Amino acid sequence: MKHIKRQRIYDLLKKDHSHLLGEEINVKGWVRTRRGNKNVAFIALNDGSIIHNIQIVVDVKAFGQDELLRAITTGSCISANGLLVQSQGKGQTLEIQASDIKLYGTADPEKYPLQKKGHTLEFLREIAHLRPRTNTFGAIFRIRHALSFAIHKFFDEHGFYYLHTPIITGSDAEGAGAMFRVTTLDPKHPPLTAAGEVDFSKDFFGKETNLTVSGQLEGELGALALSNIYTFGPTFRAENSNTSRHLSEFWMIEPEMAFYDIHDNMDLAESFLKYLIRYLLEHCEDDLAFLQKMYDEELTDRLSMIIDNAFVRITYTEAINILEQSGQRFEFPVEWGVDLQSEHERYLVEQEFRKPVILTDYPRSIKAFYMKLNDDGKTVRAMDVLFPKIGEIVGGSQREEDYEKLYGRIKEMGIEEGDVWWYLETRKFGTAPHSGFGLGFERLMLFVTGMGNIRDVIPFPRAPQNADF
Ligand code: 4AD
Ligand code: MG
């Protein structure tokens, strides 16, 4: 086969291709369908660079290789040379008149699971190694890329530095105890202390370690030196919550800013979320249109709703009053002091305000040790951003910068001082008011794709009883 430079289908369909019209070009990709008759075959080829296929037209008699043509079935992989021409057919602008085709890999029609007919998302989860080849998952993973890129772009444009925080840590940033242990000790015969406990001083790091639940504590160290930083990395939670909004391994974006109070923090979260959604509407039109058509008719309306509205800002106490007076029967009853469930969050956003809502000043008893205590002594300067369909998408706070108060909270909550001595020292040496938040990347992906299950917006989901692929 003659070597000709490969063209991505994206470039052919979205960029200026006029200089290629009438020229012999090469495309490579996976066959979505082959149809036709004795005289002509039409191959719809997709290379994942864009949701659209390019049509390859084969003049069967002139081409001559019947056996090769027969092997070009759904799922097979080919390289095709041919003339790029304006298409006569409906539904596409360009097509390729094949001169030569090389078959890289066949896909037995009896065995290849992704035949043309629609599959359920549940079934596709079981074949996560092949589902990127569907239109749905192609669209989702391209959006995931665009969103990641937009996140870095936003922070770069706003003077934030990307800080890489560790994945293996010896502390529990959220104090929730839902951590995966990291160890190289022999599970059958671990070394024991005199008291008969596992002796972690003999473990790889000489102490107990776990996968991080959040990069925040180290992020604060960065902010108290570089002013504005952000992290964007995987985080891990060993909670046994088998819901459509929880993963055991998820990606989190955590900006942390010196000299920001909670209001600056809320302003940043709101402008950040609006920027990301605007970016997607501008850059992922085709993929969003596909998802809207297939899964969620209101998708773009919901995205516009975020951009077009100022987020409502109320306190937790005000929210409790609204919920108590709503006359709604919630599965989890509300009273001041309870942690809000997603049914409560969604009631506020979807029924009461019909806009994104930021709740602040939660009871200290339901929030993490590092949040700044309000003067009332009862509440902390926390802020959660609530979105329609999702509930909590962002959690953050102003941080306690006062050494004595922070030390008091650490003791009160039974946190080992030896695990966080370095964190405490930033409050001893040049402490500063500062704030930050965490955005759950997959929660945002759920929102922008209109998908219903968080396992469908990450390539290889990790959830209780599930670590395949
Ligand atoms: O509210 P969280 O637990 O806050 C923190 O971890 C803070 N350290 C963030 C900070 O202030 N720097 O988690 C932050 C966000 C949540 O709002 C949610 O969007 C997401 O992370 N999240 C999860 N996403 C998927 N699966 C899970 N199990 C999640 N837990 C939290
Ligand atoms: Mg939270």
Q: What is the DSSP string of 429-462?
A: SS---EEEEEEEHHHHHHHHHT-S-GGGSSSS--
Nearest of 441, 442, 439 to residue 456 by alpha carbon: 442
- Residue 392 in contact with ligand 1 by CB distance below 6 A: yes
Q: Which ligand minimizes its atom distance to the CA of 394?
A: 1
* Token pair belonging to 86: 């304006």
Instruction: Kindly state the helix (H) or strand (E) to which residue 210 belongs, with its residue range.
Output: strand 209-211
Provide the residue type at 467 as one letter: A
Which helix (H) or strand (E) segment holds residue 418: the answer is helix 417-428
User: Whose C-alpha lies nearest to ligand 1, atom 23?
Assistant: 440
Cα-based distances in Å from 421 to 103, 164, 403, 407, 416: 61, 20, 11, 10, 9
**Cα 304 from Cα 295, distance rounded (Å):** 17
Beta bridge mates, 226: none
Choice from 252, 253, 342 to test ligand 1 binding pocket (greatest atom count within 8 A of CB): 252
Cβ 395 under 6 angstroms from ligand 1: yes
CB 440 less than 6 A from any atom of ligand 1:
yes
Q: What is the pLDDT of residue 111?
A: 96
Token pair of 77, please? 């992989």
**CA angle centred on 339, ends 338 and 345, rounded to 5°:** 115
**Sign of the CA dihedral 5, 8, 12, 16?**
negative
* pLDDT, tens digit, 9 for 90 and up, residues 337-382: 999 999 999 999 999 999 999 999 999 999 999 999 999 999 999 9
Among 84, 7, 17, smallest CA distance to 50 is for 7
d(CA 137, ligand 1 centre) in Å: 24
- Please write down the long-range contacts of 124-128, taking CB distance under 8 Å and 24 or more positions apart: 124/456, 125/455, 125/456, 125/461, 128/459, 128/460, 128/461, 128/468, 128/469
User: Residue 46: left (phi > 0), alpha (psi -120 to 50), or beta?
Assistant: beta
140: Cα within 13 Å, side-chain hemisphere: 28
pLDDT of residue 51: 98
Question: Whose atoms come closest to the Cα of 249: which ligand?
Answer: 1
State residue 176's pLDDT score. 78
Q: Is the CB of 218 under 6 A from ligand 1?
A: no
Atom of ligand 1 nearest to the CA of 438: 9
Q: What is the pLDDT of residue 162?
A: 98
How many Å apart are CA 141 and CA 446, to the nearest integer? 12
Identify the CA nearest to 452 among candidates 328, 329, 344, 294.
Answer: 294
Bridge partners for 6 per DSSP? 26
Q: How many whole angstroms separate alpha carbon 234 and alpha carbon 166?
A: 10
Which amino acid residue places its CA nearest to atom 6 of ligand 1?
214
Say how many Å lie between the first and final Cα of the chain, rounded: 35
Residue 402's Cβ-side half-sphere holds a number of Cα atoms within 13 Å equal to: 9
pLDDT value for 116: 67
Position 371: which residue type? M
In terms of DSSP bridges, do strands 168-169 and 209-211 run parallel, antiparallel, or are they unpaired? antiparallel
Task: Judge whether 276 and 154 are in contact, CB under 8 Å.
Answer: yes
Amino acid at 260: Y
Q: Which two tokens stand for residue 177?
A: 């105890």
Amino acid at 350: E
d(CA 101, CA 298): 42
CA of 206 to the centre of ligand 1 (A): 29
The sheet carrying 168-169 orders its strands as: 168-169, 209-211, 181-182
Please check whether residue 17 is in contact with residue 25, taking contact to mean a CB–CB distance below 8 angstroms: no
Rg for the chain (alpha carbons), in Å? 27
Tell me which residues of the chain have a pLDDT lower than 50: none
- Full DSSP string of 173-197: TTSS----EE--S-SSS--B-TTSS
Q: Which two tokens stand for residue 310?
A: 């100022």
Which stretches within 193-261 are classed as H helix? 216-226
Ligand 1 atom nearest to CA at 252: 21
Token code pair at residue 23: 């020229």
Q: Could you say which ligand is closest to the alpha carbon of residue 216?
A: 1
Total length of the chain: 469
